[in-house]
Structure 1
Protein backbone atom coordinates (compact mmCIF):
# COMPACT_ATOMS: atom_id res chain seq x y z
CA UNK A 1 0.00 0.00 0.00
CA UNK A 2 2.83 2.43 0.88
CA UNK A 3 4.58 1.70 -2.44
CA UNK A 4 1.35 2.29 -4.39
CA UNK A 5 0.86 5.59 -2.58
CA UNK A 6 4.42 6.66 -3.47
CA UNK A 7 3.91 5.75 -7.14
CA UNK A 8 0.59 7.65 -7.25
CA UNK A 9 2.13 10.70 -5.55
CA UNK A 10 5.02 10.69 -8.00
CA UNK A 11 2.70 10.34 -11.01
CA UNK A 12 0.53 13.26 -9.86
CA UNK A 13 3.64 15.37 -9.29
CA UNK A 14 4.78 14.65 -12.84
CA UNK A 15 1.38 15.71 -14.20
CA UNK A 16 1.83 19.09 -12.51
CA UNK A 17 5.15 19.61 -14.35
CA UNK A 18 4.69 19.71 -18.15
CA UNK A 19 8.43 20.31 -18.53
CA UNK A 20 8.97 16.80 -17.11
CA UNK A 21 6.52 15.00 -19.41
CA UNK A 22 9.32 13.64 -21.65
CA UNK A 23 10.93 11.98 -18.64
CA UNK A 24 7.57 10.61 -17.49
CA UNK A 25 7.19 8.91 -20.86
CA UNK A 26 10.69 7.44 -20.63
CA UNK A 27 10.03 6.13 -17.12
CA UNK A 28 6.83 4.42 -18.21
CA UNK A 29 8.70 2.69 -21.05
CA UNK A 30 11.62 1.79 -18.76
CA UNK A 31 9.32 0.15 -16.23
CA UNK A 32 7.18 -1.69 -18.79
CA UNK A 33 8.53 -2.39 -22.29
CA UNK A 34 12.23 -1.97 -21.43
CA UNK A 35 12.15 -3.33 -17.89
CA UNK A 36 14.35 -6.38 -18.54
CA UNK A 37 16.86 -4.32 -20.51
CA UNK A 38 17.69 -2.11 -17.51
CA UNK A 39 20.01 -4.75 -15.99
CA UNK A 40 21.42 -6.06 -19.29
CA UNK A 41 24.79 -7.79 -18.84
CA UNK A 42 24.92 -7.32 -15.06
CA UNK A 43 26.42 -10.72 -14.27
CA UNK A 44 29.06 -10.39 -16.99
CA UNK A 45 30.12 -6.93 -15.83
CA UNK A 46 30.27 -7.79 -12.15
CA UNK A 47 32.67 -10.64 -12.94
CA UNK A 48 34.75 -8.29 -15.13
CA UNK A 49 34.77 -5.44 -12.59
CA UNK A 50 35.63 -7.69 -9.64
CA UNK A 51 38.61 -9.13 -11.52
CA UNK A 52 40.04 -5.63 -12.10
CA UNK A 53 39.01 -3.76 -8.94
CA UNK A 54 41.43 -1.88 -6.70
CA UNK A 55 40.93 0.48 -3.76
CA UNK A 56 40.07 4.16 -4.12
CA UNK A 57 43.46 5.20 -2.74
CA UNK A 58 45.37 2.87 -5.04
CA UNK A 59 43.43 4.28 -8.00
CA UNK A 60 44.25 7.87 -7.01
CA UNK A 61 47.94 7.04 -6.73
CA UNK A 62 47.93 5.11 -10.01
CA UNK A 63 46.08 7.73 -12.06
CA UNK A 64 47.05 11.02 -10.46
CA UNK A 65 50.39 10.29 -8.82
CA UNK A 66 49.14 11.39 -5.39
CA UNK A 67 50.90 9.66 -2.51
CA UNK A 68 49.91 12.03 0.32
CA UNK A 69 46.19 12.15 0.99
CA UNK A 70 45.27 15.34 2.82
CA UNK A 71 41.66 15.73 1.69
CA UNK A 72 39.97 14.73 4.94
CA UNK A 73 42.40 16.59 7.20
CA UNK A 74 42.41 19.72 5.02
CA UNK A 75 38.63 19.95 4.96
CA UNK A 76 37.78 18.40 8.33
CA UNK A 77 35.59 21.31 9.48
CA UNK A 78 33.62 21.44 6.22
CA UNK A 79 33.17 17.66 6.15
CA UNK A 80 31.99 17.63 9.77
CA UNK A 81 29.48 20.34 8.84
CA UNK A 82 28.27 18.23 5.91
CA UNK A 83 27.93 15.12 8.09
CA UNK A 84 25.83 17.07 10.58
CA UNK A 85 23.66 18.48 7.81
CA UNK A 86 22.99 15.00 6.47
CA UNK A 87 21.97 13.81 9.94
CA UNK A 88 19.54 16.72 10.25
CA UNK A 89 17.96 16.15 6.83
CA UNK A 90 14.41 14.76 7.18
CA UNK A 91 14.56 12.68 3.99
CA UNK A 92 16.95 9.91 2.95
CA UNK A 93 19.09 10.32 -0.16
CA UNK A 94 22.38 8.91 -1.48
CA UNK A 95 25.55 8.68 0.62
CA UNK A 96 28.99 10.27 0.14
CA UNK A 97 30.61 7.94 -2.41
CA UNK A 98 34.17 8.40 -3.70
CA UNK A 99 34.83 11.94 -2.49
CA UNK A 100 38.62 11.74 -2.57
CA UNK A 101 38.54 10.34 -6.11
CA UNK A 102 36.40 13.23 -7.35
CA UNK A 103 38.45 15.87 -5.52
CA UNK A 104 41.81 14.59 -6.77
CA UNK A 105 40.45 14.18 -10.31
CA UNK A 106 39.66 17.89 -10.24
CA UNK A 107 43.06 18.72 -8.76
CA UNK A 108 44.89 16.54 -11.31
CA UNK A 109 43.10 18.12 -14.27
CA UNK A 110 43.24 21.62 -12.73
CA UNK A 111 39.54 21.65 -13.49
CA UNK A 112 37.70 24.84 -14.34
CA UNK A 113 34.57 23.18 -15.71
CA UNK A 114 33.03 20.02 -14.27
CA UNK A 115 29.72 18.34 -15.11
CA UNK A 116 27.96 15.82 -12.88
CA UNK A 117 24.69 13.95 -13.14
CA UNK A 118 22.93 13.18 -9.88
CA UNK A 119 23.19 15.41 -6.81
CA UNK A 120 21.04 14.19 -3.87
CA UNK A 121 22.61 15.57 -0.64
CA UNK A 122 25.41 17.06 -2.73
CA UNK A 123 28.38 15.06 -1.46
CA UNK A 124 30.03 14.68 -4.86
CA UNK A 125 29.14 18.30 -5.62
CA UNK A 126 30.96 19.34 -2.45
CA UNK A 127 34.10 17.41 -3.43
CA UNK A 128 34.20 19.07 -6.86
CA UNK A 129 33.44 22.54 -5.52
CA UNK A 130 36.23 22.40 -2.93
CA UNK A 131 38.69 22.05 -5.80
CA UNK A 132 36.92 24.33 -8.29
CA UNK A 133 36.79 27.30 -5.92
CA UNK A 134 40.60 27.52 -6.05
CA UNK A 135 40.37 28.40 -9.76
CA UNK A 136 36.97 30.11 -9.67
CA UNK A 137 35.67 27.23 -11.79
CA UNK A 138 32.10 26.09 -12.32
CA UNK A 139 30.25 22.87 -11.50
CA UNK A 140 27.28 22.10 -13.76
CA UNK A 141 24.90 19.58 -12.19
CA UNK A 142 21.93 17.69 -13.61
CA UNK A 143 19.43 16.37 -11.07
CA UNK A 144 15.81 15.32 -11.34
CA UNK A 145 13.33 16.84 -8.88
CA UNK A 146 12.50 14.52 -5.95
CA UNK A 147 8.85 14.19 -6.87
CA UNK A 148 8.04 11.14 -4.75
CA UNK A 149 9.05 12.55 -1.38
CA UNK A 150 8.82 16.35 -1.67
CA UNK A 151 12.57 16.64 -1.22
CA UNK A 152 13.52 19.39 -3.67
CA UNK A 153 14.53 21.83 -0.96
CA UNK A 154 17.08 19.34 0.36
CA UNK A 155 19.00 18.77 -2.89
CA UNK A 156 22.59 19.87 -2.26
CA UNK A 157 21.84 20.10 1.46
CA UNK A 158 25.43 19.44 2.59
CA UNK A 159 27.02 22.11 0.36
CA UNK A 160 27.95 25.29 2.29
CA UNK A 161 26.43 28.51 0.97
CA UNK A 162 29.80 30.08 0.15
CA UNK A 163 30.55 27.31 -2.38
CA UNK A 164 27.26 27.68 -4.24
CA UNK A 165 28.49 30.73 -6.19
CA UNK A 166 30.50 28.29 -8.33
CA UNK A 167 27.54 25.97 -8.91
CA UNK A 168 24.86 25.81 -11.61
CA UNK A 169 22.10 23.29 -10.90
CA UNK A 170 19.72 22.11 -13.64
CA UNK A 171 16.59 20.41 -12.27
CA UNK A 172 15.54 18.16 -15.14
CA UNK A 173 16.27 14.64 -16.34
CA UNK A 174 19.65 14.23 -18.06
CA UNK A 175 18.14 14.24 -21.55
CA UNK A 176 16.80 17.73 -20.89
CA UNK A 177 19.52 19.05 -18.55
CA UNK A 178 22.61 18.05 -20.51
CA UNK A 179 21.71 19.89 -23.76
CA UNK A 180 21.06 23.02 -21.66
CA UNK A 181 24.42 22.59 -19.90
CA UNK A 182 26.26 22.10 -23.21
CA UNK A 183 24.83 25.38 -24.49
CA UNK A 184 26.50 27.14 -21.55
CA UNK A 185 29.78 25.23 -21.77
CA UNK A 186 30.91 22.72 -24.38
CA UNK A 187 34.16 21.21 -23.05
CA UNK A 188 34.74 19.82 -19.56
CA UNK A 189 37.76 18.80 -17.51
CA UNK A 190 35.98 16.25 -15.29
CA UNK A 191 32.76 14.30 -15.76
CA UNK A 192 31.02 12.41 -12.95
CA UNK A 193 28.02 10.23 -13.81
CA UNK A 194 25.67 9.15 -11.01
CA UNK A 195 22.08 9.35 -12.24
CA UNK A 196 19.87 7.05 -14.36
CA UNK A 197 21.20 3.51 -13.75
CA UNK A 198 19.36 1.76 -16.57
CA UNK A 199 21.37 0.30 -19.47
CA UNK A 200 19.78 2.64 -22.01
CA UNK A 201 20.10 5.71 -19.78
CA UNK A 202 23.77 5.09 -19.03
CA UNK A 203 24.66 4.26 -22.62
CA UNK A 204 23.05 7.43 -23.94
CA UNK A 205 24.66 9.65 -21.30
CA UNK A 206 28.14 8.13 -21.64
CA UNK A 207 28.25 8.92 -25.35
CA UNK A 208 26.98 12.46 -24.87
CA UNK A 209 29.31 13.24 -21.98
CA UNK A 210 32.39 11.65 -23.51
CA UNK A 211 32.09 13.84 -26.60
CA UNK A 212 32.32 16.91 -24.34
CA UNK A 213 35.32 15.73 -22.29
CA UNK A 214 38.66 17.28 -23.26
CA UNK A 215 41.72 15.20 -23.97
CA UNK A 216 43.43 14.62 -20.63
CA UNK A 217 40.14 15.06 -18.80
CA UNK A 218 38.79 12.56 -16.26
CA UNK A 219 35.64 10.46 -16.64
CA UNK A 220 34.06 8.88 -13.54
CA UNK A 221 30.95 6.72 -13.32
CA UNK A 222 29.33 5.31 -10.19
CA UNK A 223 27.44 2.00 -9.97
CA UNK A 224 28.90 0.47 -13.12
CA UNK A 225 27.94 -3.01 -11.88
CA UNK A 226 24.20 -2.39 -12.31
CA UNK A 227 24.48 -3.48 -15.96
CA UNK A 228 27.11 -3.74 -18.71
CA UNK A 229 26.71 -0.23 -20.16
CA UNK A 230 30.06 1.00 -18.84
CA UNK A 231 31.97 -2.12 -19.85
CA UNK A 232 30.40 -2.07 -23.30
CA UNK A 233 31.17 1.63 -23.71
CA UNK A 234 34.83 1.17 -22.73
CA UNK A 235 35.28 -1.83 -25.02
CA UNK A 236 33.60 -0.08 -27.95
CA UNK A 237 35.86 2.96 -27.57
CA UNK A 238 39.04 0.98 -26.72
CA UNK A 239 39.30 2.64 -23.30
CA UNK A 240 41.59 1.24 -20.62
CA UNK A 241 39.62 1.87 -17.46
CA UNK A 242 40.42 1.58 -13.77
CA UNK A 243 37.79 -0.05 -11.53
CA UNK A 244 37.32 0.77 -7.86
CA UNK A 245 35.34 -1.35 -5.40
CA UNK A 246 33.61 0.53 -2.59
CA UNK A 247 30.88 -0.76 -0.28
CA UNK A 248 30.22 -3.76 -2.58
CA UNK A 249 29.71 -1.45 -5.57
CA UNK A 250 31.97 -0.56 -8.48
CA UNK A 251 33.15 2.82 -9.77
CA UNK A 252 34.78 3.23 -13.17
CA UNK A 253 37.35 5.92 -14.00
CA UNK A 254 39.66 6.75 -16.88
CA UNK A 255 41.66 9.64 -18.30
CA UNK A 256 40.75 10.50 -21.90
Structure 2
Protein backbone atom coordinates (compact mmCIF):
# COMPACT_ATOMS: atom_id res chain seq x y z
CA UNK A 1 0.00 0.00 0.00
CA UNK A 2 1.39 3.41 -0.98
CA UNK A 3 1.75 6.16 1.61
CA UNK A 4 -1.00 8.22 -0.04
CA UNK A 5 -3.36 5.23 -0.09
CA UNK A 6 -2.58 4.47 3.54
CA UNK A 7 -3.27 8.04 4.65
CA UNK A 8 -6.51 8.15 2.65
CA UNK A 9 -7.68 4.82 4.08
CA UNK A 10 -6.87 6.00 7.61
CA UNK A 11 -8.75 9.25 7.10
CA UNK A 12 -11.82 7.44 5.75
CA UNK A 13 -11.61 5.07 8.71
CA UNK A 14 -11.73 8.04 11.08
CA UNK A 15 -14.71 9.54 9.26
CA UNK A 16 -16.65 6.31 9.79
CA UNK A 17 -16.02 6.46 13.54
CA UNK A 18 -17.48 9.61 15.18
CA UNK A 19 -16.16 8.38 18.55
CA UNK A 20 -12.65 8.85 17.14
CA UNK A 21 -13.17 12.43 15.91
CA UNK A 22 -11.35 13.94 18.93
CA UNK A 23 -8.25 11.90 18.10
CA UNK A 24 -8.53 12.84 14.41
CA UNK A 25 -8.43 16.50 15.42
CA UNK A 26 -5.40 15.90 17.63
CA UNK A 27 -3.57 14.05 14.85
CA UNK A 28 -4.18 16.87 12.39
CA UNK A 29 -2.73 19.37 14.88
CA UNK A 30 0.17 17.03 15.75
CA UNK A 31 1.12 16.57 12.09
CA UNK A 32 0.81 20.25 11.17
CA UNK A 33 1.13 22.83 13.95
CA UNK A 34 3.04 20.65 16.44
CA UNK A 35 5.01 18.56 13.97
CA UNK A 36 8.32 20.01 15.13
CA UNK A 37 7.75 18.81 18.71
CA UNK A 38 7.54 15.11 17.83
CA UNK A 39 11.30 14.52 18.16
CA UNK A 40 12.04 17.28 20.67
CA UNK A 41 15.30 16.65 22.52
CA UNK A 42 15.98 13.29 20.81
CA UNK A 43 19.75 13.75 20.56
CA UNK A 44 19.98 14.94 24.17
CA UNK A 45 17.99 12.01 25.51
CA UNK A 46 19.79 9.34 23.49
CA UNK A 47 23.08 10.56 24.96
CA UNK A 48 21.54 10.63 28.45
CA UNK A 49 20.08 7.13 28.02
CA UNK A 50 23.28 5.64 26.60
CA UNK A 51 25.30 6.86 29.58
CA UNK A 52 23.17 4.98 32.10
CA UNK A 53 21.78 2.05 30.09
CA UNK A 54 22.00 -1.51 31.41
CA UNK A 55 20.79 -4.84 30.06
CA UNK A 56 17.33 -6.18 30.82
CA UNK A 57 18.93 -8.92 32.94
CA UNK A 58 20.86 -6.35 35.01
CA UNK A 59 17.81 -4.14 35.44
CA UNK A 60 15.52 -6.92 36.63
CA UNK A 61 18.12 -8.20 39.07
CA UNK A 62 18.79 -4.71 40.44
CA UNK A 63 15.16 -3.56 40.70
CA UNK A 64 13.32 -6.78 41.53
CA UNK A 65 16.03 -9.07 42.89
CA UNK A 66 15.44 -11.97 40.51
CA UNK A 67 17.18 -13.61 37.58
CA UNK A 68 15.25 -13.54 34.31
CA UNK A 69 16.46 -16.91 32.98
CA UNK A 70 13.54 -18.87 34.38
CA UNK A 71 10.89 -16.99 32.41
CA UNK A 72 11.65 -18.50 28.98
CA UNK A 73 11.86 -22.00 30.48
CA UNK A 74 8.69 -21.74 32.57
CA UNK A 75 6.60 -20.43 29.67
CA UNK A 76 8.35 -22.09 26.76
CA UNK A 77 5.23 -23.65 25.21
CA UNK A 78 3.10 -20.54 25.57
CA UNK A 79 5.79 -18.32 24.06
CA UNK A 80 6.43 -20.75 21.21
CA UNK A 81 2.73 -20.87 20.35
CA UNK A 82 2.55 -17.08 20.46
CA UNK A 83 5.57 -16.77 18.15
CA UNK A 84 3.97 -19.15 15.67
CA UNK A 85 0.73 -17.15 15.68
CA UNK A 86 2.71 -14.00 14.96
CA UNK A 87 4.62 -15.73 12.16
CA UNK A 88 1.49 -16.75 10.26
CA UNK A 89 -0.49 -13.57 10.95
CA UNK A 90 -1.30 -11.79 7.64
CA UNK A 91 -1.00 -8.34 9.28
CA UNK A 92 2.39 -7.23 10.55
CA UNK A 93 2.53 -5.26 13.81
CA UNK A 94 5.12 -4.72 16.56
CA UNK A 95 6.99 -7.76 17.82
CA UNK A 96 7.80 -8.81 21.39
CA UNK A 97 9.68 -6.37 23.58
CA UNK A 98 11.31 -6.81 26.97
CA UNK A 99 8.82 -9.42 28.20
CA UNK A 100 10.85 -10.41 31.25
CA UNK A 101 10.95 -6.82 32.48
CA UNK A 102 7.15 -6.58 32.33
CA UNK A 103 6.53 -10.01 33.84
CA UNK A 104 8.90 -9.57 36.77
CA UNK A 105 7.62 -6.04 37.41
CA UNK A 106 4.18 -7.60 37.92
CA UNK A 107 5.63 -10.33 40.11
CA UNK A 108 7.59 -7.81 42.21
CA UNK A 109 4.52 -5.60 42.72
CA UNK A 110 2.26 -8.64 43.33
CA UNK A 111 0.12 -6.91 40.76
CA UNK A 112 -3.65 -7.18 40.75
CA UNK A 113 -4.30 -4.14 38.55
CA UNK A 114 -2.12 -3.25 35.56
CA UNK A 115 -2.68 -0.67 32.82
CA UNK A 116 -0.88 -0.62 29.49
CA UNK A 117 -1.09 1.64 26.45
CA UNK A 118 -0.42 0.03 23.10
CA UNK A 119 -1.25 -3.62 22.38
CA UNK A 120 -0.56 -4.67 18.75
CA UNK A 121 -0.09 -8.47 18.76
CA UNK A 122 -0.39 -8.44 22.55
CA UNK A 123 3.11 -9.56 23.58
CA UNK A 124 3.31 -7.15 26.52
CA UNK A 125 -0.28 -8.05 27.39
CA UNK A 126 0.70 -11.71 27.48
CA UNK A 127 3.65 -11.02 29.80
CA UNK A 128 1.44 -9.09 32.23
CA UNK A 129 -1.38 -11.62 32.15
CA UNK A 130 0.94 -14.55 32.90
CA UNK A 131 1.60 -12.90 36.24
CA UNK A 132 -1.83 -11.39 36.87
CA UNK A 133 -3.75 -14.67 36.55
CA UNK A 134 -1.92 -16.00 39.60
CA UNK A 135 -3.82 -13.42 41.69
CA UNK A 136 -6.94 -13.25 39.50
CA UNK A 137 -5.89 -9.70 38.62
CA UNK A 138 -6.97 -7.56 35.69
CA UNK A 139 -5.07 -5.99 32.80
CA UNK A 140 -6.58 -2.79 31.37
CA UNK A 141 -5.29 -2.01 27.88
CA UNK A 142 -5.67 1.06 25.67
CA UNK A 143 -5.14 0.61 21.94
CA UNK A 144 -6.24 2.61 18.91
CA UNK A 145 -8.02 0.75 16.09
CA UNK A 146 -5.76 -0.14 13.16
CA UNK A 147 -7.63 1.94 10.61
CA UNK A 148 -5.17 1.64 7.72
CA UNK A 149 -4.48 -2.09 7.52
CA UNK A 150 -7.57 -4.10 8.52
CA UNK A 151 -5.69 -5.26 11.58
CA UNK A 152 -8.35 -4.88 14.27
CA UNK A 153 -9.13 -8.59 14.40
CA UNK A 154 -5.47 -9.32 15.17
CA UNK A 155 -5.02 -6.94 18.10
CA UNK A 156 -3.98 -9.13 21.02
CA UNK A 157 -3.63 -12.06 18.64
CA UNK A 158 -0.93 -13.90 20.62
CA UNK A 159 -2.84 -13.85 23.93
CA UNK A 160 -4.30 -17.33 24.63
CA UNK A 161 -8.03 -17.63 25.23
CA UNK A 162 -7.56 -18.87 28.78
CA UNK A 163 -5.96 -15.54 29.77
CA UNK A 164 -8.56 -13.26 28.24
CA UNK A 165 -10.98 -13.43 31.18
CA UNK A 166 -8.51 -11.23 33.06
CA UNK A 167 -8.22 -8.66 30.27
CA UNK A 168 -10.19 -5.50 29.46
CA UNK A 169 -9.36 -3.87 26.13
CA UNK A 170 -10.38 -0.27 25.38
CA UNK A 171 -10.26 0.56 21.65
CA UNK A 172 -9.80 4.31 21.67
CA UNK A 173 -6.93 6.79 21.78
CA UNK A 174 -5.32 7.18 25.22
CA UNK A 175 -7.09 10.47 25.92
CA UNK A 176 -10.41 8.66 25.66
CA UNK A 177 -9.37 5.22 26.93
CA UNK A 178 -7.49 6.23 30.07
CA UNK A 179 -10.33 8.24 31.67
CA UNK A 180 -12.61 5.24 31.06
CA UNK A 181 -10.05 2.90 32.63
CA UNK A 182 -9.52 5.17 35.63
CA UNK A 183 -13.28 5.26 36.18
CA UNK A 184 -13.24 1.47 36.53
CA UNK A 185 -10.13 1.37 38.73
CA UNK A 186 -8.31 4.24 40.42
CA UNK A 187 -4.98 2.80 41.55
CA UNK A 188 -2.59 0.51 39.68
CA UNK A 189 0.36 -1.66 40.63
CA UNK A 190 2.18 -1.55 37.28
CA UNK A 191 1.96 0.89 34.35
CA UNK A 192 3.38 0.15 30.90
CA UNK A 193 3.43 2.89 28.25
CA UNK A 194 3.90 1.97 24.58
CA UNK A 195 1.51 4.06 22.50
CA UNK A 196 1.63 7.67 21.22
CA UNK A 197 5.31 8.35 20.49
CA UNK A 198 4.99 12.15 20.22
CA UNK A 199 6.50 14.42 22.87
CA UNK A 200 3.18 16.03 23.82
CA UNK A 201 1.33 12.72 23.83
CA UNK A 202 3.90 11.16 26.14
CA UNK A 203 4.06 14.06 28.59
CA UNK A 204 0.28 14.10 28.97
CA UNK A 205 0.05 10.32 29.45
CA UNK A 206 3.03 10.07 31.81
CA UNK A 207 1.50 12.55 34.25
CA UNK A 208 -1.93 10.91 34.08
CA UNK A 209 -0.52 7.42 34.60
CA UNK A 210 1.84 8.48 37.39
CA UNK A 211 -1.06 9.95 39.41
CA UNK A 212 -2.74 6.54 39.38
CA UNK A 213 0.35 4.50 40.29
CA UNK A 214 0.52 3.34 43.89
CA UNK A 215 3.58 3.86 46.02
CA UNK A 216 6.11 1.08 45.31
CA UNK A 217 4.34 0.41 42.01
CA UNK A 218 6.36 0.03 38.80
CA UNK A 219 6.35 2.46 35.86
CA UNK A 220 7.67 1.27 32.46
CA UNK A 221 7.92 3.22 29.21
CA UNK A 222 9.14 1.84 25.90
CA UNK A 223 11.08 3.74 23.22
CA UNK A 224 12.16 6.60 25.46
CA UNK A 225 14.84 7.61 22.96
CA UNK A 226 12.26 8.92 20.46
CA UNK A 227 12.30 12.31 22.19
CA UNK A 228 13.09 13.81 25.60
CA UNK A 229 9.61 13.42 27.11
CA UNK A 230 10.60 10.64 29.52
CA UNK A 231 13.85 12.31 30.58
CA UNK A 232 12.06 15.62 31.11
CA UNK A 233 9.27 13.93 33.08
CA UNK A 234 11.75 12.18 35.38
CA UNK A 235 13.77 15.33 35.96
CA UNK A 236 10.67 17.43 36.64
CA UNK A 237 9.50 14.92 39.26
CA UNK A 238 12.92 14.10 40.77
CA UNK A 239 12.61 10.47 39.69
CA UNK A 240 15.66 8.21 39.69
CA UNK A 241 15.08 5.93 36.72
CA UNK A 242 16.74 2.85 35.36
CA UNK A 243 17.34 2.78 31.60
CA UNK A 244 17.31 -0.56 29.80
CA UNK A 245 18.89 -1.03 26.38
CA UNK A 246 16.98 -3.68 24.48
CA UNK A 247 17.44 -4.51 20.80
CA UNK A 248 18.89 -1.10 20.03
CA UNK A 249 16.19 0.90 21.83
CA UNK A 250 15.83 2.33 25.32
CA UNK A 251 13.21 1.52 27.95
CA UNK A 252 12.67 3.55 31.12
CA UNK A 253 11.62 1.88 34.37
CA UNK A 254 11.36 3.00 37.98
CA UNK A 255 9.69 2.05 41.23
CA UNK A 256 7.55 4.87 42.66
- TM-score, normalisation: structure 1: 0.99
Q: Where does structure 1 lack aligned partners over 5 or more consecutive residues? A: none
Q: In the alignment, which residue of structure 2 is the partner of 1:31?
A: 31
Q: Is the 8 A contact 2:57 2:68 kept in 1?
A: no
Q: In the alignment, which residue of structure 2 is the partner of 1:142?
A: 142
Q: In the alignment, which residue of structure 2 is the partner of 1:133?
A: 133
Q: In the alignment, which residue of structure 2 is the partner of 1:245?
A: 245
1:42-70 CA-partner distances (Å, limit 9, x unpaired): 00000000000000000000000003631
Cα distance between partner residues in 1 of 2:73 and 2:156 = 22
1:248, CA displacement in angstroms?
1.1
Query: Which SS does the other structure have where 2:91 is aligned?
Result: coil
- TM-score, normalisation: structure 2: 0.99
Query: Which SS does the other structure have where 1:196 is aligned?
Result: coil
1:156-202 CA-partner distances (Å, limit 9, x unpaired): 00000000000000000000000000000000000000000000000
Residues 1:211 and 2:197 are matched in the alignment: no
Q: In the alignment, which residue of structure 2 is the partner of 1:166?
A: 166
Cα distance between partner residues in 1 of 2:215 and 2:117 = 20
Map of 1:1-256 to 2, 5 A cutoff?
A: 2-67=2-67, 69-256=69-256
Q: Where does structure 2 lack aligned partners over 5 or more consecutive residues? A: none
**What is the root-mean-square deviation in Å for CA atoms of aligned residues?**
0.7
Cα distance between partner residues in 2 of 1:173 and 1:47 = 30
Against the structure 1 CA distance between its residues 68 and 82, is the aligned structure 2 distance closer, same or farther, given a 3 Å change threshold? closer
Cα distance between partner residues in 1 of 2:58 and 2:34 = 37
Query: Which SS does the other structure have where 2:169 is aligned?
Result: strand
Query: Which SS does the other structure have where 2:32 is aligned?
Result: coil
Q: Is the 8 A contact 2:117 2:194 kept in 1?
A: yes
Against the structure 1 CA distance between its residues 186 and 24, is the aligned structure 2 distance closer, same or farther, given a 3 Å change threshold? same
Q: Is the 8 A contact 2:242 2:253 kept in 1?
A: yes
